[in-house]
Chains A and B, each alone.
Chain A
Amino acid sequence: MQPDPPNPTDEPVGAAGSATVVGRAPDGDDGFAAFYTGEFPRAVALSRSLCGSWAVAEELTQEAFLTAHRRWRRVRDLDDPGQWVRRIVANRSVSSFRRSQAERRALARLGPGRTVDDPPSPDGDLLARIADLPPKQAVAIAAVYVDQLDHTEAAALVGCSPSTLRTHLQRGRAALRLAHDARETGR
Chain B
Amino acid sequence: MSPDVEPFADDELARLGGRVRADAAPRTGDLADLIGRSRAARQRSRGALIGVLGVAVIVAVVLGLTRVGPSTDSLQVGDGTGGIASDSPDAVPSWTVNPSIPVPEDAGEVWAIEVVYDPLASDFGRLVEAPGPAPMMSRSAALIGVTSSSREPRVQAYWIGDGAQRAAEETRASLLGQPGIVSVEVRKAEPTTRPPRTAVPDTGPPHPGPTVVTLVRPVLSDPRPTQDEIFADGVVTDEEYELALWTFVECAEADGASFSSVGRFADGRYQYTMSTGGAGDACYRSIFMQVDLTWQLQREAAGPASGPTVTGR
B19 at the interface (CB under 8 A from A): yes
Q: How large is the interface on B (under 10, 10 to 19, 20 to 34, 35 or more residues)?
A: 35 or more
Whether the pair B33, A62 counts as a contact (CB closer than 8 A) is yes
A30 to B10, CA, bound (A): 41
Which residues on B sit within 8 Å (CB–CB) of A24?
38, 42
Interface string of B273-313 (1 = CB under 8 A from A): 00000100100110001100100000001100000000001
A54 to B20, CA, bound (A): 10
A127 to B25, CA, bound (A): 17
Whether the pair B38, A14 counts as a contact (CB closer than 8 A) is no
- Identify the closest chain B residue to A40 (Cβ): B29
B219 at the interface (CB under 8 A from A): no
Interface string of A123-167 (1 = CB under 8 A from B): 100110000000000000100011110000000000000000000
A110 at the interface (CB under 8 A from B): no
Interface string of A16-31 (1 = CB under 8 A from B): 1100101111010000
Known contacts A10-B42, A48-B24, A62-B34: does B290 contact A22 (CB below 8 Å)? Answer: yes
A45 to B28, CA, bound (A): 11
A126 to B19, CA, bound (A): 12
A175 at the interface (CB under 8 A from B): yes
A88 at the interface (CB under 8 A from B): yes
Whether the pair A1, B145 counts as a contact (CB closer than 8 A) is yes
Instruction: State how many residues of chain A have any CB contact under 8 Å with chain B.
Output: 62
Whether the pair B27, A87 counts as a contact (CB closer than 8 A) is no
B7 at the interface (CB under 8 A from A): yes
Known contacts A14-B285, A91-B234, A141-B13: does B143 contact A2 (CB below 8 Å)? Answer: yes
Whether the pair B142, A127 counts as a contact (CB closer than 8 A) is no
| B104 → chain A closest CB, angstroms | 16
A173 at the interface (CB under 8 A from B): yes
Which residues on A sit within 8 Å (CB–CB) of B24?
41-42, 44-45, 48
Which label, helix, strand, loop or mixed, suits the secondary structure of the A interface? helix
Which residues on B sit within 8 Å (CB–CB) of A3?
136-139, 141-143
Whether the pair B20, A70 counts as a contact (CB closer than 8 A) is no
Which residues on A sit within 8 Å (CB–CB) of B285?
14-15, 20
Whether the pair A69, B34 counts as a contact (CB closer than 8 A) is yes
Which residues on B sit within 8 Å (CB–CB) of A88?
233-235
A173 to B12, CA, bound (A): 11
Whether the pair A173, B7 counts as a contact (CB closer than 8 A) is yes
A78 to B3, CA, bound (A): 39
Residue from the list A23, A37, A173 in contact with B8, Cβ < 8 A: A173
Known contacts A25-B38, A54-B27: does B5 contact A177 (CB below 8 Å)? Answer: yes
Residue from the list B10, B25, B34, B137 in contact with A36, Cβ < 8 A: B34
A148 to B17, CA, bound (A): 8
Whether the pair A174, B2 counts as a contact (CB closer than 8 A) is yes
- Identify the closest chain A residue to B50 (Cβ): A1
The 7 closest A-B pairs by CB, nearest first: A173-B7, A45-B24, A88-B234, A176-B8, A145-B17, A146-B17, A174-B5
